[in-house]
């Protein structure tokens, strides 16, 4: 009897598993996970200068290998990781051939730690330093998928394949709007290498780090790989127009664009009655610019009447400038045949950055636009007078408490003095 019950239970479990498999195919779940998985491409300089023995008594190449092995062990599950080299295969003096020397050592995908470590162990410092070509290929390696994408470039020297300027390559990658970040690490850097690697990182919103010890290299690469696994909001690429009439319509979200020097970019947003438009914009100077500049964000009607504006000015002490605006659309009476259609508000972005002498003007400067259309504020809104929100009430309470404490302390002090004089 018990055996029969067990067989029946087993049959039911098998049937349930088969049913679940039919309803939710394993392949579909796996495909969805793969599509959203974060991707990291480690780009390692294997040029001849990596033979130098100036990192903790060992060669730069040995330090990089040690760091890579530790990073591979610590890579989070779910991160698709690849390794690309530059200068690893051609030992000759032909510049044209040397500047093509970049190869995918380990393809971007699910990580097999043993296989990746074996591939890294074969590396020997060899040739040129084609950073620009390697970045272009590394971006192609990360093509596809909806997860975050990050390139970590580790180099001990400047690019030797000009005129393909790696900084310009990074700007072109950023201009594609694919949400790819490039972080750079300089091994025992000099001034010119630091400037070039910093420029590459800044063009895509990445970071630059100077490294002179093996543990520093390990810690920083681990940090960047872990960061790729963190959930991020990837801005949606959008192309603003030269006029409001031709501008793309945006809903609430985060958007990225490029704006040329002396150019205006227009976008449109529908705002229903009783709702509020909140918008902000940031423009970054990813190359050398003149020290005085400004940013203007205007909300205007389709007929060109200005509704509200936000302005900001900079003096060269920061390479990012931001401003924002708010437009509450009043609640109106419904029309006879139904609700009135939403009002179309045109957003205009203008900046007054000007390029320094000899600096390329294309692609345009990176622009990030945030649009939020929310139901208008009511009595329960967090927004209070003076724009301080509920913090205004806290500030008032602190002021009152301080005032009362001062009165009590003064009274006690006078009482103590009076008692002392009496005695």
Q: Which residues contact 207 (CB under 8 A, 6 or more apart)?
A: 183, 184, 201, 224
Report which secondary-structure segment, H or E, holds 141: helix 131-141
> Is residue 295 scored above 80 in pLDDT?
yes
CA distances to 91, 171, 228, 259, 359 from 175, in Å: 34, 6, 20, 10, 17
Residue with tokens 């010119």: 192
For 150-186, the pLDDT digits (tens) are: 999 999 989 998 888 999 999 888 887 777 899 999 9
Q: Mean pLDDT over all residues of the chain?
A: 83
CA distance 229 to 160: 33
pTM for the full predicted model: 0.65
Q: Is 87 exposed, middle or buried (0-12, 13-18, 19+ CB in 10 A)?
A: buried
Mean pLDDT, rounded, for 379-389: 40
Q: Give pLDDT, residue 21.
A: 46
Mean pLDDT, rounded, for 129-152: 92
Token pair of 285, please?
């100077």
CA distances to 251, 283, 301, 309, 356 from 324, in Å: 16, 12, 17, 8, 27
Token pair of 249, please?
């319509």
CA distance 268 to 248: 6
- Largest interatomic CA distance in the chain: 100
Count, residues in the chain = 423
For 404-416, the pLDDT digits (tens) are: 777 777 777 677 6
Q: Chain-centre distance of CA 278, in angstroms?
A: 21
What domains sit in the chain, N to C, each tagged with a CATH number? 36-229 (3.40.50.410), 236-375 (2.60.120.380)
Cis peptide before 163 (omega within 30 of 0): yes
pLDDT band at 372 (very low <50, low <70, confident <90, very high): very high
CA distance 88 to 129: 9
DSSP 23-84: HS-HHHHHHHHHHH--EEEEEEE-SGGGG---BTTB-HHHHHHHHHHHHHHHPPTT-EEEEE
pLDDT band at 31 (very low <50, low <70, confident <90, very high): low
Q: Which of 150, 142, 159, 140 is nearest to 45 (CA)?
A: 159
- Give me the sign of the Cα torsion angle 59, 64, 66, 67: positive
SS (H, E, C) 348-399: EEEECCCECCCCCCCCCEEEEEEEEEEECCCCCCCCCHHHCCCHHHHHHHHH
For 242-294, the pLDDT digits (tens) are: 999 999 999 999 998 999 999 999 999 999 988 999 999 999 888 888 888 99
More confident residue, 88 or 7: 88
> Is residue 82 scored above 90 in pLDDT?
yes
List the single range of 47-61, 79-93, 217-231, 387-401 with lowest mean pLDDT.
Answer: 387-401
Q: Which of 311, 326, 343 is nearest to 244 (CA)?
A: 343
Q: Give pLDDT, residue 20.
A: 44
């Amino acid at each position: 009897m018990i055996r029969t019950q067990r067989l029946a239970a087993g049959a039911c479990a098998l049937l349930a598993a088969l049913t679940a498999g039919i309803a939710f195919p394993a392949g579909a779940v796996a495909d969805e996970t793969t599509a959203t998985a974060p991707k990291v491409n480690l780009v390692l300089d294997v040029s001849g200068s990596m033979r130098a023995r100036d990192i903790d008594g060992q060669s730069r190449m040995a330090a990089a290998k040690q760091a890579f092995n530790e990073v591979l062990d610590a890579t989070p599950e779910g991160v698709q990781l690849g390794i690309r080299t530059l200068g690893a295969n051609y030992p000759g003096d032909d510049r044209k051939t040397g500047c093509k020397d970049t190869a995918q050592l380990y393809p971007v995908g699910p990580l097999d730690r043993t296989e990746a470590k074996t591939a890294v162990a074969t590396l020997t410092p060899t040739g040129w330093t084609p950073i620009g070509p390697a970045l272009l290929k590394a971006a192609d390696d990360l093509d596809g998928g909806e997860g975050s994408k990050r390139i970590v470039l580790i180099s001990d020297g400047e690019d030797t394949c000009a005129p393909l300027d790696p900084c310009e390559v990074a700007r072109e990658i950023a201009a594609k709007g694919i949400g790819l970040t490039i972080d750079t690490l300089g091994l025992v850097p000099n001034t010119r290498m630091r400037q070039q690697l910093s420029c590459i990182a800044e063009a895509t919103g990445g970071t630059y780090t100077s490294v002179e010890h093996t543990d520093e290299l390990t810690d920083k690469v681990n940090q960047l790989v872990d960061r790729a696994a963190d959930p991020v909001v990837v801005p949606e690429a959008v192309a603003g127009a030269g006029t409001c009439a031709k501008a793309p319509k945006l809903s609430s979200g985060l958007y990225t664009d490029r704006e040329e020097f002396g150019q205006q970019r227009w976008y449109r947003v529908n705002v229903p009655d009783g709702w509020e438009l909140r918008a902000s914009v940031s423009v970054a100077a990813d190359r050398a610019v003149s020290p005085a500049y400004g940013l203007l964000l205007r909300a205007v009607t389709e007929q060109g009447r200005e509704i509200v504006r936000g302005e900001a000015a900079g003096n060269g002490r920061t390479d990012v400038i931001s401003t924002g605006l708010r437009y509450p659309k009043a609640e109106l009476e419904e029309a006879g045949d139904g609700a009135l259609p939403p009002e179309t508000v045109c957003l205009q972005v203008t900046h007054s950055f000007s390029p320094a002498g000899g600096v390329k003007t294309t692609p345009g400067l990176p622009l990030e636009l945030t649009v939020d259309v929310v139901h208008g504020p009511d009595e329960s809104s967090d927004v209070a007078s003076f724009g301080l929100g509920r913090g205004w009430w806290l500030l008032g309470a602190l002021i009152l408490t301080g005032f009362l404490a001062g009165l009590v302390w003064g009274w006690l002090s006078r009482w103590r003095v009076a008692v002392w004089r009496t005695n």
